[in-house]
């Protein structure tokens, strides 16, 4: 089965991740046994916007034109379901931005701990996020004697879809001290990256040893040897001697740049449909970076993408310090006053349900598609009729 190459930039590419999933479903099932969370992601992407999930039929009462529209899976790993969720999330977060510069710091889990993370997803992801946040907050207290505002976002992939857990942190260029004064950070860099890496390493390894002592880690498969205390101690000793990677990018110019960045990163999934180049039924070609591409088998593509399925209900975006939920109405507003910023206007405050933007309005703003207008005659005479849901049977994974 040969499919048309994707066309970069078009709203609905001819080639989608779901096409590859459908073609590789049987071969993938024969070779691998996915976890429950991976299986949920698999089904969601496979069935998103198909008749299996039901939908509606838009009928133009003026010309009779009919347009079927099927329901989205709304799974956070699906490349087709993030646009509206992202738009709503960003509008809620706009009010937490301060009129100051922001820094971008990235904390990476060492390669030696990735196998352990694969067997302890929630535990290791919680640990990675918490240690990154604590490192930044501690440096804020010791170097600036102030409380920073930090937003952490977990990513687990490289551009080639390989497993690479790391945390992107957006950090205020300064903080609020105990007396309610704003203490600015240096203009060129936040804190020394080598020092942050050392502290981050110490926090994570100390907590990891504590988890091992309390038997909170699953040690099986290629991590089974770590069940031997001496082997685990050797791993920790080796990691203490290794230089860890903490990367600090150039600071953002202001809150609007941060807002644009968050729009790209918070709801990003492993790969978008726009990055797909071609699929010949066996191999998938997709863009990586710097104009390069990589080609892998369809089964390997599915395997790699499912590596990044998050545990159910896991929160991958976390706010600490000044931007923590408990501080939004107190410390954050004090900081805003110190920076002489006007409070968020009424438009950015949570609105009553009837006046909140509908999904139709958001879709129009994001894509230019107006679902209230007939695509055939241009009349606003669309009538919506519900379509039935086709329930899945036991052989739902079979796509033949």
Does the residue 162 lie in any domain?
A: yes
Does the residue 212 lie in any domain?
A: yes
Q: Residue 53: which domain range?
A: 17-77+359-387
Mean pLDDT for the stretch of residues 343-348? 48
Q: Is the pTM of this model over 0.75?
A: yes
Same domain, 25 and 101: no
- Of 158-162, 245-249, 259-263, 340-344, which range is least confident? 340-344
Q: Looking at the predicted structure, is the pLDDT value of residue 101 above 60?
A: yes
Tens digit of each residue's pLDDT (9 = 90 or more) over 194-234: 999 999 999 999 999 999 999 999 999 999 999 999 999 99
Does the residue 89 lie in any domain?
A: no
Q: Spell out a b/e string for 119-139, using b for 16 or more CB atoms within 10 Å of the CB, else e.
A: bbbebbbbbbbbbbbbbbbbb
| Per-residue pLDDT at 15 | 93
Query: What total number of domains does the chain contain?
Result: 2
- Where residue 174 falls among pLDDT bands split at 50, 70, 90? very high
Same domain, 108 and 170: yes
| 373/379 Cα distance (integer angstroms) | 6
Does the residue 194 lie in any domain?
A: yes
Does the residue 35 lie in any domain?
A: yes
**According to DSSP H, which parts of the chain are helical?**
17-31, 36-47, 83-93, 114-119, 121-139, 193-213, 229-241, 255-265, 298-306, 331-338, 359-367
Does the residue 229 lie in any domain?
A: yes
Same domain, 195 and 319: yes
Same domain, 149 and 55: no
Same domain, 257 and 371: no
| 225/219 Cα distance (integer angstroms) | 8
Mean residue pLDDT of the chain comes to: 85
| 382/58 Cα distance (integer angstroms) | 6
Same domain, 47 and 158: no
| 275/257 Cα distance (integer angstroms) | 24
More confidently predicted of 28 and 391: 28
Same domain, 247 and 328: yes
Q: Looking at the predicted structure, is the pLDDT value of residue 346 above 50?
A: no
Same domain, 188 and 337: yes
| Per-residue pLDDT at 390 | 58
| Per-residue pLDDT at 344 | 55
Tens digit of each residue's pLDDT (9 = 90 or more) over 112-123: 999 999 999 999
Same domain, 111 and 53: no
| 187/173 Cα distance (integer angstroms) | 8
Q: Looking at the predicted structure, is the pLDDT value of residue 396 above 60?
A: no
Residue 296: enclosing H or E segment and its boundaries?
strand 293-297
Same domain, 52 and 190: no
Q: Which of the listed ranges 8-12, 44-48, 78-82 does the model predict with the highest average pLDDT?
A: 44-48
Mean pLDDT for the stretch of residues 12-21? 86
Tens digit of each residue's pLDDT (9 = 90 or more) over 288-330: 999 999 999 999 999 999 999 999 999 999 999 999 999 999 9
Q: Looking at the predicted structure, is the pLDDT value of residue 166 above 70?
A: yes
| Per-residue pLDDT at 322 | 97
Q: What percent of the chain has pLDDT over 70?
A: 84
Does the residue 38 lie in any domain?
A: yes
Tens digit of each residue's pLDDT (9 = 90 or more) over 54-69: 877 888 877 877 777 7
Same domain, 68 and 101: no
Q: Spell out a b/e string for 215-243, using b for 16 or more CB atoms within 10 Å of the CB, else e.
A: eebebeeebeebeeeeebeebbeebeeee
Same domain, 70 and 109: no
Tens digit of each residue's pLDDT (9 = 90 or more) over 175-200: 999 999 999 998 788 999 999 999 99
Cβ atoms of residues 60 and 216 within 8 Å: no
């Amino acid at each position: 089965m040969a499919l048309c190459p994707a066309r970069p930039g078009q709203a609905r590419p001819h080639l989608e991740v779901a096409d590859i999933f459908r073609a590789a479903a049987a071969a993938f099932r024969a070779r691998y046994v996915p976890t429950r969370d991976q299986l949920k992601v698999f089904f969601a992407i496979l069935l998103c916007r198909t008749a299996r999930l039901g939908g509606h039929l838009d009928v133009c009462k003026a010309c009779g034109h009919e347009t079927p529209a099927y329901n989205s899976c709304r799974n956070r790993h699906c490349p087709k379901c993030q646009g509206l969720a992202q738009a709503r999330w960003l509008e809620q977060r706009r009010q937490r931005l301060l009129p100051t510069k922001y820094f971008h710091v990235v904390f990476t889990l060492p390669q030696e701990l990735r196998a352990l993370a694969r067997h302890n997803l929630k535990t290791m992801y919680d640990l990675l996020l918490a240690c990154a946040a604590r490192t930044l907050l501690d440096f804020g207290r010791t170097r600036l004697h102030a409380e920073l505002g930090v937003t952490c976002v977990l990513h687990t992939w490289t551009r080639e879809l390989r497993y690479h857990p790391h945390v992107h942190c957006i950090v205020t260029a300064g903080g609020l001290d105990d007396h309610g004064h704003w203490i600015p950070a240096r203009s060129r860099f936040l804190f020394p990256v080598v020092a942050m890496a050392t502290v981050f390493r110490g926090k994570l390894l100390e907590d990891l040893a504590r988890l091992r002592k309390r038997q909170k880690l699953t040690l099986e498969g290629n991590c089974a040897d770590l069940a031997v205390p001496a082997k685990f101690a050797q791993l920790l000793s080796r990691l203490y001697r290794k230089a860890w990677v903490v990367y600090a990018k150039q600071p953002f110019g202001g809150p609007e740049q941060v807002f644009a960045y968050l729009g790209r990163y918070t709801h990003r999934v492993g790969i978008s449909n726009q990055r797909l180049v071609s699929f010949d039924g066996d191999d998938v070609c997709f863009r990586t970076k710097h104009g390069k591409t990589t080609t892998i088998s369809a089964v390997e593509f599915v395997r790699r993408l499912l590596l990044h399925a998050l545990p159910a209900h896991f929160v991958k975006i976390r706010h600490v310090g000044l931007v923590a939920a408990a501080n939004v109405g107190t410390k954050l507003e004090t900081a805003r006053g110190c920076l002489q910023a006007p409070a968020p206007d009424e438009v950015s405050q949570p609105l009553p349900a009837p006046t909140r933007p509908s999904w139709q309005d958001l879709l129009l703003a994001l894509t230019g598609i107006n679902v209230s207008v007939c695509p055939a005659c241009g009349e606003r005479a669309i009538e919506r009729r519900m379509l039935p849901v086709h329930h899945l049977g036991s052989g739902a994974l079979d796509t033949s």
